[in-house]
Chains A and B, each alone.
Chain A
């Protein structure tokens, strides 16, 4: 679906009532920070929030204000290709002594048999090719499903009013793009970025929770997509109030138990 088709659905999405394919399409647009749908949904959130004003106006108990103020004053987180082995039949013919006519008949039979076997071989090859294409299509479909699901999760974290928005700034090359992070205590940490530089083969980017006390904790291993985009959600494995910062480093493929290179992007959290 394109942005024009999604436009009349912004309010239903903001209301939390959009379902199925339409919801998945919307979240895919939001996950890639669609320049039309992002502001469209932001406006829709405002429109839908106005329904609150349709509630009959009531006066809260006078004591509630004091309770809140007293409480305030006292309170100071790849798809894998599967190689397919194709068995090929190799028929063999035994040699025996026969009269000439028998040789001619045998030769004719051999020709027919050979032709048939070759045809069968071709059919086997075609069948194998079809199977290979089907497996590829299945893998592509699974990858697309995963992408849509990931986009949905990213969008949910991004749009939640309970998420804390952070900007991870580049620490080495100031011309590098910033990485956006959205920390949600239950849904996880969503990471998005555009125009990220390619990561060398054999290397990966790794996201870390840097706790107030103790060693960094790995949050996720990722690589920018072909167009330099990043959109992922990882679980939050450190209590929110214990996270001092989020950091990204470049590590050997597969990630490292602890950072082995200088921080490339970072944002203070608490």
Chain B
């Protein structure tokens, strides 16, 4: 029921993700282009939020889509839809970059980054992104409804890849409290998305 919500394109309008992945297996660059147009923006937004570094974000996004191009056979629709797979891959890549950057900072080898993060651009959603836009609204609304500390704990876990104990230390809170915030937040997210799909 929940997974049904990620079929953003009704049959007959635009090619489904699975079909585009099949075409990528046939080395159809046009299919990759279509997938980039569909997911490039949310993937870039996610990666930039984690990496906080535009040129690095660009490299990571390029790496993610090239991985999609080279290893399309690793994606199987039977194991779930493309979007969460793509977002998970992008998050992992960006978090790897972040950990490496932190390690360099610890070694005092990091050079300062003077790049300016581009301003937020509000652009009308293309037809295909309406469903995602609705889910994004749901997720943002849920996040803003959470108490500041709970939202911050969730953000540190998702966007910075921190463990419970790292979050507890960073926020100066008890480990048990942090665990309870994160579990509670995730359960609310699950319920909210289930409501949206029922």
Contacts and interface: CB of A to CB of B under 8 A. Distances in A.
Interface of A: 8-9, 11-12, 15-17, 19, 42-61, 64-65, 67-69, 71-73, 75-76, 161-165
Contacts of B135: 50, 53
B99 interface: no
Interface residues of B, number: 71
Interface stretch (B11-19, B25-33, B104-112): B25-33
B31 to A, nearest CB: 10
A64 B58 contact: yes
A251 to B, nearest CB: 29
A51 B154 contact: yes
Contact of B79 (A44, A58, A165): A165
A9 B183 CA distance: 7
B176 interface: no
B45 A12 contact: no
B91 A165 contact: no
B62 A64 contact: yes
A59 B118 contact: yes
Given A17-B164, A161-B74, A8 B187 contact: yes
B177 interface: no
B80 A46 contact: yes
B89 A46 contact: no
Contact of A161 (B54, B88, B118, B183): B88
Interface of B: 2-3, 6, 27, 29, 32-33, 36-37, 40-46, 48-50, 54, 58, 61-62, 65-67, 69-71, 73-74, 76, 79-81, 83-85, 87-92, 117-118, 120-123, 132, 135-136, 139-140, 143, 154-155, 157-159, 161, 163-164, 182-183, 186-187, 189-190, 193
B41 A57 contact: yes
Given A60-B58, A165-B76, A71 B66 contact: yes
A2 to B, nearest CB: 18
Given A47-B193, A51-B189, A68 B66 contact: yes
Contacts, number: 170
17 contacts: A11-B183, A15-B157, A15-B186, A17-B157, A44-B190, A48-B88, A49-B91, A50-B139, A50-B189, A53-B140, A58-B120, A58-B121, A59-B118, A68-B32, A69-B32, A161-B92, A164-B73
A35 to B, nearest CB: 15
Contacts of B62: 64, 67-68, 71
Contacts of A43: 2-3, 190
B66 A19 contact: no
Nearest to B95: A16
Nearest to B88: A161
Contact of B189 (A11, A60, A76): A11
Contacts of A45: 80, 84, 88
Given A45-B84, A58-B45, A162 B89 contact: yes
Contacts of B50: 55
Contacts of A164: 71, 73-74
A55 B74 contact: no
B84 A46 contact: yes
Contacts of A67: 58, 62
A144 B121 CA distance: 54
A218 to B, nearest CB: 24
Task: Give the one of A45, A55, A69, A75 with max B CB within 10 A.
Answer: A55
Q: Which 3 A-B pairs have the closest CB atoms?
A: A49-B84, A55-B49, A53-B136
A60 B143 contact: no
